Structure 1
Amino acid sequence: MLPFFKKNDGEKPKLEGAESAVSSEDILSEEVMEASDETDVETELSLHPAWTLTKEDIYSFQFLNNECPPLKPNQLSLSGINIIQDGDDYRVTAFVRNSLEKAISLGDTTLVLLNENDKVLGRRVFQLAELGEIPARSSRPWNFYFTKKDLLSTNIPAEGWKLAFLLETPVPEKHTLDLEDSWEKALSSANKKQLKKIVEDLGAPKEGEVNFIGLQAKVATEGELQITLLIRNGSKKEVQLEELPLVVEDAAGDIVASGGFKLDNLKVKGNTTKPWTFIFPKEQVTKATPDFSRWKAYPPNK
């Protein structure tokens, strides 16, 4: 097991990460108790009963807990302690802090690792029931492990980072267009308006269904096949695509190309459609003169 702290002679431990606090209502999905007249809440150190620590580690956690800023009533917070690399993975140690007047237990929760500019470096669903019951007005240290597949960047700072709760994004009532930032910047106002009209005319997919509709297909001069699909999410939950195998058929029903794509965790928000372009290299194109008067693309065996 990795040590909790890097031992530097003569140096006191310090909080290497920042604080991230949210209303307990956003996480617990229940009404909170009426707040007391206090404006600030100090949290006491609470160690998990199964943890066996040295006196030195207990002192360090106690010292760092005292360094944490006070919370407002009815908040949950993550206060970063340190990050230690273990091969390709990272162990993030942080205080889980509870300013409520009652003990709480948490379930499966999505946490994100952010840099000092709030850029997402990693994301993972954690089983926070393992934390046990967190007493009222307390701070419990815990280890959160981000594996290589959870990380979106290998540039993990030693200080200034933040561990945060990922709050659910409100799902739009009407099925809408969702553009990636790069598309938002690249497309003209006329192109955006046209895409919005296409999405509106198509209507929403069936509830809970994710499907693909071809928007544009062309063979480049180098022999590459470029297709643009509308990825339509009929679920209320965000869909995250890491890898996507695709087969393309033309109007004759012939397979034009097939291959797999790594998407770097492409996210499609609930009840939205996102356009995305896929490029098949020449060696994956199996028909020289496809008929794209009608065509479709789909995951194989679907």
Structure 2
Amino acid sequence: MQQLQFETSWDKALAAQDRQNIEKIFSETKYLNSSDILCSPIREAINHKEELLVSVLVHNFSDRPLTFNNTRLLYSVKGDVIADEAFTLPALVIPSQVSMPWTFIFPKVSYIIGTSFKNGRLEILEIPFVNLYK
């Protein structure tokens, strides 16, 4: 059965209203295991460095831990990809059958500036490793 977990720093710093919102999203989406990995949107924002912040509830419905090692993430709005970046996050491991909130930070050069970021969809893809020295 799917469980909601918070990474330690999130657990300590999360405001009560934000926690309630995430718990509500979890209760509404925890049975949507139509795929191994699913991201439910929480919020989008642009920070002071003009980076795109995409907060999602990552559902790992699979039977293996989810790690981010050169993992490609696409953020699209109405079917148009507006952000594309590979993420390596050694500290982020989402265990099997666990949902965890996370904010992915897309650098300014990795997204289309001037578009609307609302009601988007984050997709996690695997980038195959290619050995260039074969």
**TM class by shorter-chain length?**
0.7 to 0.9
CA shift, 1:241, in A, is 3.1
* Counterpart Cα distance in 2 of 1:295 and 1:204: 20
CA shift, 1:189, in A, is 2.8
TM-score, length-normalised on structure 2? 0.78
- The within-5 A match list for 1:1-302 is 173=1, 175-206=2-33, 209-251=36-78, 253-285=79-111, 287-300=112-125
* Counterpart Cα distance in 2 of 1:243 and 1:296: 20
CA contact (8 A) 2:41 2:120 kept: yes
* Counterpart Cα distance in 1 of 2:26 and 2:13: 19
CA contact (8 A) 1:179 1:274 kept: yes
* Counterpart Cα distance in 2 of 1:213 and 1:229: 5
Q: Percent identity?
A: 24
CA shift, 1:293, in A, is 3.3
* Counterpart Cα distance in 2 of 1:216 and 1:277: 9
Unaligned runs of 5+ residues in structure 1 are 1-172
CA contact (8 A) 2:85 2:110 kept: yes
Q: Which has the larger radius of gyration?
A: 1
CA shift, 1:276, in A, is 0.9
Unaligned runs of 5+ residues in structure 2 are 128-134
* Counterpart Cα distance in 1 of 2:34 and 2:114: 37
Instruction: Give the 3 Å change call, closer, same or farther, for CA 282–215 of structure 1 in structure 2.
Output: same
Report which structure shows greater RCO (CA 8 Å, sep ≥6). Answer: 2
Q: Deviations over 1:113-147 (max 9, x none)?
A: xxxxxxxxxxxxxxxxxxxxxxxxxxxxxxxxxxx
* Counterpart Cα distance in 2 of 1:218 and 1:188: 17
CA contact (8 A) 2:72 2:126 kept: no
CA contact (8 A) 2:67 2:89 kept: no
1:234 aligned partner, one-letter code: F
CA shift, 1:207, in A, is 7.1
CA shift, 1:300, in A, is 4.8
| Higher strand fraction (1 or 2) | 2
Q: Aligned-residue CA RMSD in angstroms?
A: 2.4
Instruction: Give the 3 Å change call, closer, same or farther, for CA 269–254 of structure 1 in structure 2.
Output: same
Instruction: Give the 3 Å change call, closer, same or farther, for CA 272–299 of structure 1 in structure 2.
Output: closer
CA contact (8 A) 1:242 1:265 kept: no
CA shift, 1:200, in A, is 0.7
Instruction: Give the 3 Å change call, closer, same or farther, for CA 180–290 of structure 1 in structure 2.
Output: same
CA contact (8 A) 1:204 1:271 kept: no
CA shift, 1:301, in A, is 8.1
